[in-house]
Chains A and B, each alone.
Chain A
Amino acid sequence: MNSVAATQGFQPYWYLVLAAMVFTIGAVGLLVRRSPLVMLMCVELMLNAVNLTFVTFGRMLNDVGGQVIVFFVLVVAAAEVVVGLGIIVAVARRRPNATIDDVSALRG
């Protein structure tokens, strides 16, 4: 197994490392940025990182199931973006220049 991986160039765990880094960058960006659109893009970053992880594990387990999962994640991410953008548009129409901190009406 190791020799097979070695002949393939990068060992698979590099992909995992890269995915982890992208995920972390996306997470930090989500917490720090205030524009809703940028936050949405950070969410996409995180999802991509996860996709990469799944595909890598699929290759390591020699299983196509990893790719099936990614397929579905892709679809759901698309739907989620649609809905998220709808919300952003609805909010921004009422209040232009709204940052995410301004939509805090659901306070306790």
Chain B
Amino acid sequence: MVSLVWLIPALPLVGFLLLLCFGKRLGEPAAGWLATAMVGGSFVVALLAFIGLHSQPDNTFSQVLFTWIPAGRFNVDVGFLFDPLSSAMILFVTGVGALIHLYSIGYMHGDPRFSKFFLYLNLFVFSMLMLVLGNNLLITFLGWEGVGVCSYFLVSFWFEKLPNATAGKKAFITNRIGDWGFMVGIFITWFTFGTIQYTQFLPVSPGVATTTATLISLMLFIGAVGKSAQFPLYLWLPDAMAGPTPVSALIHAATMVTAGVYLMVRINPMLHAASPWLSTAIAWIGVLTALLAATIAIAQTDIKKVLAYSTVSQLGYMFLAVGVGGYWVAIFHMITHAFFKALLFLGAGSVMHGVDGEQDMRRMGALRKLMPITAGAFIVGWLAISGVVPLSGFWSKDEILTYALHRSPALYAIGLFTALLTAFYMSREVFLVFYGDARWNNPIEPSTIEAQSDADIVTPPVHASEIHPHESPWMMTAPLVVLAVLAALAGFINLPFSGTPHWLENWLEPVTGQFGVELNNSNAYIVGLLLISTIVAVSGIGLGYAVYQRHKIPANVFERRLFLNGWYYDLAVSDFMNRPGRVFFAGVAWVDGHVIDGAVNGVGSITRSAGGMIRKTQSGLVRSYAMAITIGAVLLLLFVLTRVTW
């Protein structure tokens, strides 16, 4: 069973290749079904392999396919490490991926490049699986780059509009900055250990010098910051909403952005061996990013942008968990987040599909009756993310806060406040979209927010008279229902009380148990914290209700222009790049053109001139040649004469 693990990434790869060759011919919807079948097949195999994994020692199984780089001391295999961590991730990556593929068949209906979309999706799933399953840093990096590239392809899928193409570039380039850190981390790892295979260097990492461990972990963390959109590299995620909604759901909610968290959890022995300030820094970066993103989300008007900033915020929670030593908790939140965030994104896509592409929430409203399934699923997702008991988000977020409190009350307080904001802005979104008055026929009122934001990518509003909201086809609503069920129930895989089975924590123990923090709080303590979280969540929802449903408090108290423009961070970055940055880039280009190219051209011109000089000896004159021969012969003769014995 478990030796089938190679099949898991192979199936999407086959799908990609088939679609590459025959995609146009298959057309719609066969291409979509093929892609979905491949990923679905991956899920089935993953399930079987997961079952088979229980019989392996330590629940870990390694499989090496072939040696990729046999370069003396640097030996890299293409191999898979199927252990508790990767198996847990594989399951939800393929599962959610399959559901999103199914959803896309309905969503991308009528698109002229239908099969290409699925081609990219399959390639993405393949890359993500390689990332997670890889047994060494280089395979993970291969997958890392692969998902970055696919993100670029998919975000700029509708590249005919310039903003979409720009967003794709932005995503890729910002990722690249993080990738630099990842690469340096790989180099240092190899220099220190002589190997980059997880099973070889992780067990010995506690013994390595603290500075080295800190450096490696810091570099890999930089990579994670880029990929998982933490401050300061989160700029690309909101702009990436220019891509089709399934892309946002798959890549920017459930899978790619979690790669950074995965990496951190994977190298947790190294992180543990590093200086304590690094973990603290990770925790603080995570929680501050969460807070920052939550404040920005309050003021957004685009239905997807709210979810984008929400993703950044939730990822901040995951990094907070990593920073305080709750590695399995980060994975727990990753799983629940995958379910409810994918659900929310797909729901948003369904809503947009229903209102013919309108993305501005100020022009929606009262859609609950017209799109009941979508609304129901979205509401489940809303409650999950807000942390309402007994949905999954509640359990995972509370675990994170418990661990945060264990480390520092300040972290806990900020995390709690962010939870309040989360509940608030999600409620705002739900009330604006599904409740209230039907506003899709109204012109845009500038009453609540002063003006359109300065730096956002503007989606032009759809003409009013064309909107007739309707429910989406079954291919789109079925995944919503499935995800809603999962979002509701996923929390039960790990209830915090001491009497309940801690399935996830125990399952992940071989990977995270050695260095993760383990809390043994009394049940009363746990219940106390749960109560606080519930109060916070309910007050957030209540506040949202008061502002947006009952209109008791005017909205512009909360929807500040500062938040709408993302604390002007994006603008600051582009400004910097435009002025000082441009000078610097011009300088670099000059160096490249004159120094580097100059050296290369210099070699060429030196060769030319040397050749030109030597050419003069070929005068064509016979007598010169004869002279050369004679002189050579004479010299030879003289040389021999010096050697003989007289």
Whether A and B touch (Cβ < 8 Å) is answered with yes
Q: Which residues of A contact B (CB under 8 A)?
A: 27, 30-31, 34, 100-101, 103-108
Do B620 and A100 touch (CB < 8 A)? no
- Taking each of A34, A101, A108, which has the highest tally of chain B beta carbons within 10 Å of its own beta carbon? A108
Query: Which of the residues A30, A100, A107 comes within 8 Å of B619, measured between beta carbons?
Result: A107
Judge if B574 is at the interface, Cβ distance under 8 Å.
no
Inter-chain CA distance A77–B634, complex, in Å, is 23
Do B615 and A108 touch (CB < 8 A)? yes
Closest to A36 in B: B622
Do A104 and B627 touch (CB < 8 A)? no
Do B630 and A101 touch (CB < 8 A)? no
Closest A-B pairs by Cβ, 4 of them: A108-B618, A104-B620, A107-B620, A108-B615
Q: Beyond A34-B623, A108-B620: 12 further Cβ-contacts under 8 Å? A: A31-B623, A100-B621, A100-B622, A100-B623, A101-B621, A101-B622, A101-B623, A104-B619, A104-B621, A106-B618, A108-B616, A108-B617
**What are 18 A-to-B residue pairs whose CB atoms are below 8 Å?**
A27-B630, A31-B626, A31-B627, A31-B630, A34-B623, A101-B623, A103-B620, A103-B622, A104-B619, A104-B622, A105-B620, A106-B618, A106-B620, A107-B619, A107-B620, A108-B617, A108-B619, A108-B620
- Chain B: interface residue total (CB-CB under 8 A): 12
Looking at chain A's contact residues, the main secondary structure is loop
**Which residues of chain B come closer than 8 Å to A107, judged between CB atoms?**
618-620
Do A30 and B620 touch (CB < 8 A)? no
Inter-chain CA distance A101–B623, complex, in Å, is 7
Q: How far is the CB of A49 from chain B (nearest CB, A)?
A: 14
Closest to B617 in A: A108
Inter-chain CA distance A107–B620, complex, in Å, is 4
**Which residues of chain B come closer than 8 Å to A105, judged between CB atoms?**
620
Do B626 and A30 touch (CB < 8 A)? yes
Q: How far is the CB of B609 from chain A (nearest CB, A)?
A: 15
**Which residues of chain A come closer than 8 Å to B627, judged between CB atoms?**
31
**Which residues of chain A come closer than 8 Å to B622, judged between CB atoms?**
100-101, 103-104
**Which residues of chain A come closer than 8 Å to B620, judged between CB atoms?**
103-108
**Which residues of chain B come closer than 8 Å to A104, judged between CB atoms?**
619-622
**Which residues of chain B come closer than 8 Å to A100, judged between CB atoms?**
621-623
Q: How far is the CB of A30 from chain B (nearest CB, A)?
A: 6
- Taking each of A103, A105, A107, which has the highest tally of chain B beta carbons within 10 Å of its own beta carbon? A107
Q: How far is the CB of B161 from chain A (nearest CB, A)?
A: 60
Inter-chain CA distance A55–B524, complex, in Å, is 123
**Which residues of chain B come closer than 8 Å to A30, judged between CB atoms?**
626
Closest to B621 in A: A104
**Which residues of chain A come closer than 8 Å to B626, judged between CB atoms?**
30-31
Closest to B622 in A: A100
Inter-chain CA distance A73–B308, complex, in Å, is 95
Closest to B633 in A: A27
B residues 618-646 near A (Cβ < 8 Å) are 618-623, 626-627, 630
Inter-chain CA distance A100–B622, complex, in Å, is 7
Task: Produce 1/0 per residue, B588-626, CB < 8 A to A.
Answer: 000000000000000000000000000111111111001
Inter-chain CA distance A30–B631, complex, in Å, is 13
Inter-chain CA distance A23–B616, complex, in Å, is 30
Q: How far is the CB of A29 from chain B (nearest CB, A)?
A: 11
**Which residues of chain A come closer than 8 Å to B623, judged between CB atoms?**
31, 34, 100-101
Inter-chain CA distance A27–B626, complex, in Å, is 9
Closest to B627 in A: A31
Q: How far is the CB of A25 from chain B (nearest CB, A)?
A: 13
- Taking each of B618, B620, B627, which has the highest tally of chain A beta carbons within 10 Å of its own beta carbon? B620
